[in-house]
Structure 1
Amino acid sequence: MNFEYLKLEVSERVATVTLHRPDKGNALAPHVLQEVTAMFNQLGERDDVNVIVFTGGEKYFSAGFDLNEIRKLEKVSNEAYTALFHKAYRAILFCEQPVICAVGGPAIAGGFDLTMMCDIRYASTRAKFGQREVVLSLTPIMDPLWRIIGMGRAKEVALTGRIYDATEAERMGYVSKVFPEGELLSSVGQIARDMAKFDRTCLIETKRLSNQVLNQDLDTSMRTQEWLFRSYIGSEDNHQRIDALQAQLAAARAAKGN
């Protein structure tokens, strides 16, 4: 598939996907959603990609729904358009590799929903977040939002339609860290490259585990985690990484002693 509204760069086992519809604030028209779905489905199958960064650049993330497209819809014929959104959501949410969202500006309505599907969110000081569906007489995506910030706060976000700045989004636990304007992509890129050095299968299994245990009772969850841990501990890769870490620590101690 040729991508018109997404840019892709792969380096050091990190794929950076950038929304690129600057004349419309990266608004989510049908063809944009189709490209998002195809891109993440393809990346999920690539063995040379351990981590994915999803961004709209330093200026904005996505203004949300393309209102001109939605205005054309009729209630009796909206199924195909609705499916486009949810295919894109699922492609990100269930992509095998960890997906880091780097939000450089407004992430509103459908744009906010895309950030919600990512595993980790970072923002710049100019970022804005808002689940504005209620303003448009639309129902919101509550799950996985409530899993990220709790049901009480998710209800506030959904029912008030408020716009939150990056500081408030960090305070509620929606974003992990806020970076100064202009430093987002370089900072998140370094985090992603550091993550991408880890065992690819371990990264994938950890993401899968985080989704799986949410729906398990505590006893089953503990047993699942024990089984998964047992499948990795003592492996050749585990031994190699222990040896490398111990060598690194020894070198640091020697340098400090000198």
Structure 2
Amino acid sequence: MPVSLTIDPDGVAHLTLDRPEKRNALDNAMVASLQAQIDFLAHRDDVRLVVVRGTGGTFCAGADIADWATPSNATAAKQSISGNRAFDALAALPQPSIAVLEGTTVGGGLELAMACDLRVAADNAVIGLPELGLGNLPSWGGTARIVAVAGLGVARHLLLSGELITGTRAAELHLVTTSSTTGMLDDAIAAVVNRLLAAEPQAVALAKANLATFDQRLPAEDAMAAYTAGLDSSRQRKQDFLDRKAAAKAARTNPTNAPEATTRVQS
């Protein structure tokens, strides 16, 4: 499955995004797989804690742009609702959750991380909301969660500027719980896991239920995301993005055919 699940003897569930060839970008199948695994965890009394991580040294490069390049408004709204439901279900789990941010954590990937209770980041992780540059709005609840966690000023900056920040800077802005060097990341995760496991499980579940009463959502988020996804300018920006990725991949595969003056675009 594109999202795998294992449960260790300590009752720690490991949800792993497993699409490394796409930097764990979330396509429709992956969102559905995530929803199924979260629904399963919601009924497991033996699970104390959930750790969400990506394979291939990266967390999640966001929504798969191929799914958002040319959708109808109805399809875009459906995709927004599906992602919202999955992320809301993750946030509503009775068990606390930790997102491990390394490599790329942008767009829908950051929204996924914000649906977790805590975030541990590598200091060199790349974090941000670049959606406006592609003519889209975040649509999976992340904007409101960033406001709740780090404040309106941080949300404004990330969304309006599209700046990609490091894990170190994200910790300074309280967007993530802590940051660590890559070599010490597993130790930092273990320290947070051990603190959470030391708490009484029923008290943790009740604390989460109490905190959930403060959750807020942006009105009409799905409708606005569907509207922007259908704009001609938005579709063109996303197609240009896909074309640049295809050209970069072709240049890596057959560099002798790449124009000398072409700037290498990171995929």
TM category (shorter chain) comes to: 0.7 to 0.9
The letter of the residue matching 1:191 is V
1:18 aligns with 2:19: no
Whether contact under 8 Å (1:7, 1:19) holds in the other structure is no
**Range with bigger deviation, 110-119 or 140-149:** 140-149
1:105 aligns with 2:100: no
**2:6: which partner in 1?**
8
Looking at structure 1, the residues matched to 155 and 77 of structure 2 have their Cα atoms a distance apart, in angstroms, of 26
Shift of the 127–48 alpha-carbon distance from structure 1 to 2, 3 Å rule, reads same
Residue from 68, 71, 77 that aligns with 2:69: 71
**1:128: which partner in 2?**
126
**1:92: which partner in 2?**
90
TM superposition shift of 1:65:
1.2
Q: Aligned to 1:101, what secondary structure does the other structure show?
A: strand
Shift of the 77–32 alpha-carbon distance from structure 1 to 2, 3 Å rule, reads closer
Looking at structure 1, the residues matched to 36 and 184 of structure 2 have their Cα atoms a distance apart, in angstroms, of 29
Stretches of structure 2 lacking an aligned partner (at least 5 in a row): 217-267
Q: Aligned to 2:87, what secondary structure does the other structure show?
A: helix
After superposition, the C-alpha distances for 1:188-211 in whole angstroms (9 at most, x for unaligned) are 134214422422111111112222
**1:163: which partner in 2?**
164
TM superposition shift of 1:62:
0.4
**2:116: which partner in 1?**
118
Q: Aligned to 1:121, what secondary structure does the other structure show?
A: strand
Q: Aligned to 1:60, what secondary structure does the other structure show?
A: coil
Q: Aligned to 2:13, what secondary structure does the other structure show?
A: strand
TM superposition shift of 1:35:
1.0
Which protein has the larger Cα radius of gyration, Structure 1 or Structure 2? 1
Looking at structure 1, the residues matched to 15 and 166 of structure 2 have their Cα atoms a distance apart, in angstroms, of 23
Stretches of structure 1 lacking an aligned partner (at least 5 in a row): 216-258
Q: Aligned to 1:170, what secondary structure does the other structure show?
A: helix
Question: How much is the aligned-residue C-alpha RMSD, in angstroms?
Answer: 1.8
TM superposition shift of 1:147:
0.7
Identity %: 24
After superposition, the C-alpha distances for 1:149-182 in whole angstroms (9 at most, x for unaligned) are 1112211111111101111101100111111113
**1:54: which partner in 2?**
52
**Range with bigger deviation, 181-190 or 55-64:** 181-190
Q: Aligned to 1:78, what secondary structure does the other structure show?
A: helix
User: TM-score, with normalisation over the residues of structure 2?
Assistant: 0.74
Looking at structure 2, the residues matched to 70 and 144 of structure 1 have their Cα atoms a distance apart, in angstroms, of 22
**2:35: which partner in 1?**
37
Looking at structure 2, the residues matched to 18 and 11 of structure 1 have their Cα atoms a distance apart, in angstroms, of 17
**2:147: which partner in 1?**
146
The alignment of Structure 1 onto Structure 2 pairs a total of residues equal to 213
